[in-house]
Structure 1
Amino acid sequence: MRLRLLGALAALSLLPLSGTTAVASEIGWLDCGDGLRCAGVTVPSDWASPKHSTPITVNLAKLPARDQTRKLGALLVNPGGPAAAIPGFRLSKASYAELTQWFDVVMFDPRGFGAGDGVSCPSPFPAAVDSPLERKAFTDYREANANFARSCSPGMGPLVGKVNSWQVARDMNAIRKALGERKLRYYGNSYGTVFGQTYAELFPHNVERMFLDSVLDHGERRLFEWMAPMAATTERNLHRFAEWCAKAESCALYGKDALAVFDRVIAKAPVPAPGAGSGVTVSAGTIAARVADQTAERRWPALATALAEADAGDATALSRAPQQPPDNSLARTMLCADFPFDAGFVGHKAIEEQLRRTVAPRVGWADPVWGMTGHCDGLPKTGTHPPHPIRPVGLPPVLITSGSNDTITPVEHGKRVAAQLPGSRYLPATGGHAVYRGGNPCVRRHVHRYLTTGELPAPGTSCPAV
């Protein structure tokens, strides 16, 4: 879930059912294909005034436990985004299959997403623009954001100002009751960890087990401190890429100092990009942003080739941002309600320069400032639930993990959240985003033991790469 890459998953069919539910037997589960059972739970559009608000439906999809007579109950899951979760559940249910040894795995679409009551805005939210920030680009982007919000608002109906994790956590509690569960078992991944943190704050006594994977910290209010770990991890990954190139014969820069090549390309900028059009050149800032986008391991071969070509005088491969499908969902709306950072041009520019000076001089500075927070500028500050530290009383121990190389939800975020939740355990793991779903056997073993027995990994435990 890099926030600049937010986009709803491909739409697939779901049949939401209306009707307020109180116990599990009253949920009208229907077979909806792909081995799933689907239903819906009716909730107030505004939990601050439930008796006077229009009801909405939250969609559910269940992958049933293998043995219904011996199951431990339901495990509520949200994989992140924020996005419609159920379409992706259909495609990735194999990654949750082990959990059906013990649980009905129940996925939910956050309010405003998915079939039925999901909102589709007239146009996609505007795509992020590269750093370094320029005032005109910032001003244009801010106005585009405001236009997106204005165009989307009429279709939101009663959800205007009601799409945030505070409302979603209350939806989750209604789902818990509807499933007939005395206490909640929850597995939140990526943005789903924001929902988990809010639920832990609001309903600590209703939690039985909670596993948070790839955590986005909703406790840090200082923008620089929130972004710095993302930038630092991106910078570290560039160094890991250079080490790989020095050893891997498949790298287009094999045997070379890849960092020196990068520095040389930056020094040459602007670099011609003939494949992008006659007279097109690529600036140093754009090169840094493109490289920052490609520091994940799976992209290293392409990054090496692009740098080799740019070093030879052709930066075509570094001239364009990765193509993302247009997203006309409420992803931007929910993100910016939970993280309403709006530092303005001067504030963002100062953070960009501070990151470049103190944390990530080559590439880490080029992505988080605009891609992670700048895109909230211009959106209305209504119905927000901004970051704040929490100290939930009565919460049982929570299990938290993050991948060491994850630039999207860096390890520092997970550690900070673990420190706020008394008795919780942070499980370090080598890897990238979504460690459990990525199949790390060590992480899976500890998660299964925790979810079924409550036993946490021993202090000092860590999990190696797959």
Structure 2
Amino acid sequence: MKALLKRVTTIAALLVTGAGTATAADGPAWRDCYDGLSCTEIEVPADWDDPARATVTVPLLRIPARDRKLGTLLVNPGGPAQSIPLFAVPGYRDQFTGLAARFDVVVFDPRGLDVTCPAPVPAPLPGPLTRSAYDAYTAANAEFAADCTTAAGAVRGHLGADQVARDMDAIRARLGERRLNYFGSSYGTVYGQAYAARFGSRVGRMYLDSVLDHTRPDPAAWARAGAVTAERNLARMARWCAAEAGCALHGRDVIAVWDGLMATPDAPAIVAWAAARIGSDTSWPALTAGLASAAAGDTAPATPRPSPPDARLARTAFCADFPSPDGFRAAKGVEDELRAAAPRLGWAVHPWRVSGQCAGLPRIGVNPPAALPPVPRILVANGDDDPLTPAEHGRRVAGQLGGRYLPSAGGHALYLRGNACVRGHVHRWLENAEWPAAGARC
């Protein structure tokens, strides 16, 4: 009876405060970690729609404010993945130094992403799609999900961003903050959108960097902007090579070389290899060198290396938030639409393999895209040349939120990769509520 009473009291605290098992006044019990930082976990319901059934833990890491603390800034650097273990890597924390000037920076790892399944997820589908490959992938994906049922435990079916947003509000309450100040990069912007949709009145100041649009349910429409951006980057690389004497294809028609390679049996491997690199200008020297080697008959530099086995639930979390084409015919239709829009390379550069990515996974606990309400206390920036989170995604989300969009040259994760102009605007916004001036651009 005492155990039951304690359980009921705990659940009541979760419902009333949105926090963990202790009160906000108590705060979490921090412990030393990663050479001068602090770590802890909070306990939250595994399913916020049925909070009495089970709980899960959400890991937190704190970087203390250096001077005249303004409050707490919750951060998710993206993925979806664990980021807290990366603070063991020398230099990783340096990306957050500017944010910690006036805020306690609290990084959180989303629920369930520490789960290790018994077997790795199946390899992503290569393009062009075939029915046999699609059917085999669907079966393998279903087997992966079934085999991971026990390991996933209470978090199974509860990985979507709407559940994570409620975890974020629990963190806010547990830290004793009246409003949530938030920095989300890449997939962290999906969590930011979910929080704004559910808890808009509790948003303090928010910055979303490299937004992945969670408002558009049509997979082809969602992926088209990234495909077009990647195709544009291929043309930009060709112009760079024409002007750069050190380019391995200098003096040759890069597009003609590409088209010639696309007529060879090695085309699928070359496309996959190039698609992973075309979004970063710094990759162009190696990319053009690989294409030059392939044109000379040596495809080894352009052959993708085997990836380490991935037995985590990141792909499953993505599939909880973003719809996948239903069946081979629909998946092939998405690929065909992207080929029409970006026929050389862009069709293959849609994040997480939109075509078939989620086939075979059980559609439970999903959090489909939906329009966003006005929450104007949000600054958004996307890189013009980023095919993974294209600028159109950021403009669309900022427009629905009624916040401010900061256009910027460059690629993915503008702030974390050191864009000084973006960083300046972000600091002025988060610390002083100072918007970028109308017409500002980085």
TM-score, structure 2 length as denominator? 0.92
Matches within 5 A, 1:43-442: 43-50=44-51, 52-67=52-67, 70-91=68-89, 92-113=92-113, 118-267=114-263, 269-270=264-265, 282=266, 284-295=267-278, 296-318=280-302, 320-357=303-340, 359-368=341-350, 371-392=353-374, 395-422=375-402, 424-442=403-421
SS in 2 for 1:219: coil
Offset, 1:174: 0.4
Q: Secondary structure of the equivalent of 1:368?
A: coil
Show the counterpart of 2:10.
none
User: 1:370 Cα shift?
Assistant: 7.3
Q: Which whole-Å deviations, capped at 9, do the CAs of 1:188-234 have from their partners, x for residues lacking one?
A: 00000000000000000111001000000000011111010111111
8 Å CA contact retained: 1:145, 1:378: yes
Q: In structure 2, do the counterparts of structure 1 residues 285 and 413 end up closer, same or farther at CA, with 3 Å as the change threshold?
A: same
* CA drift at 1:343: 2.9
1:265 deviates by 2.2
Q: Write the deviation string for residues 261-282 of structure 1: whole angstroms up to 9, x where unpaired.
A: 1112223x12xxxxxxxxxxx2
CA apart distance, 1:20: 1.8
Quote the offset at 1:25 in angstroms.
Answer: 4.3
> Shift of the alpha carbon at 1:442?
0.6
Residue of structure 2 aligned with 1:443, choices 422, 425, 428:
422
Residue 189 and residue 214 in structure 1: after superposition, are their counterparts in 2 closer, same or farther (change >3 A)? same
- 1:343 and 1:414 map into 2 onto residues whose CA distance is 26
- Preserved CA contact (<8 Å) 2:203 2:377: no
Seen in structure 2, the aligned counterparts of structure 1 residues 396 and 366 have a Cα distance that, compared at 3 Å, is closer
Stretches of structure 2 lacking an aligned partner (at least 5 in a row): 1-18
Mapped contact 2:72–2:105 kept (Cα < 8 A): yes
Identity, % of aligned positions: 50
The 1:322/1:413 distance shift into structure 2, 3 A limit, reads farther
**Deviation (angstroms), 1:417:** 0.5
* Contact preservation (8 Å) 1:251, 1:304: yes
Matched, 1:41 2:23: no
1:285 CA drift (Å): 3.4
> How far, CA to CA, are the matches of 1:436 and 1:182 in structure 2?
26
8 Å Cα contact 2:414-2:422 kept in structure 1: yes
- One-letter amino acid of the structure 1 residue matched with residue 397 of structure 2: V
SS, match of residue 57 in structure 2: strand
> Which residue identity does 1:302 align to in structure 2?
A
Is the CA contact (8 Å cut-off) linking 2:27 and 2:176 kept in structure 1? no
Q: Which amino acid aligns with 1:324?
A: S
Counterpart-to-counterpart distance in 2, 1:426 and 1:328: 37
* Paired amino acid for 1:349: K
Given that 1:21 and 1:41 are in contact with CA atoms closer than 8 Å, whether structure 2 keeps it comes out as no
Query: What is the count of residue pairs matched by the alignment?
Result: 421
Q: Report the Cα distance in structure 2 between the residues aligned to 1:38 and 1:102, rounded to whole angstroms.
A: 19
Deviation at 1:402, TM superposition (A): 0.8
The offset of 1:372, in angstroms, is 3.4
| Distance change >3 Å, CA 191–CA 24, structure 1 → 2 | farther
Q: How far, CA to CA, are the matches of 1:317 and 1:134 in structure 2? A: 26
TM-superposed deviation, 1:257: 1.5
Q: Secondary structure at the match of 1:26?
A: coil
Coordinate RMSD, CA, aligned: 1.7
Moved more, 125-134 or 200-209: 125-134
Tell me the SS of whatever aligns to 2:98: helix
Distance, in Å, in 2 between the alignment partners of 1:349 and 1:19 is: 45
Distance 2:60 2:217 in 1: 32
1:275 match: none
Q: Contact conserved, 2:219 with 2:325, CA < 8 A, in 1?
A: no
Letter in 2 for 1:54: A
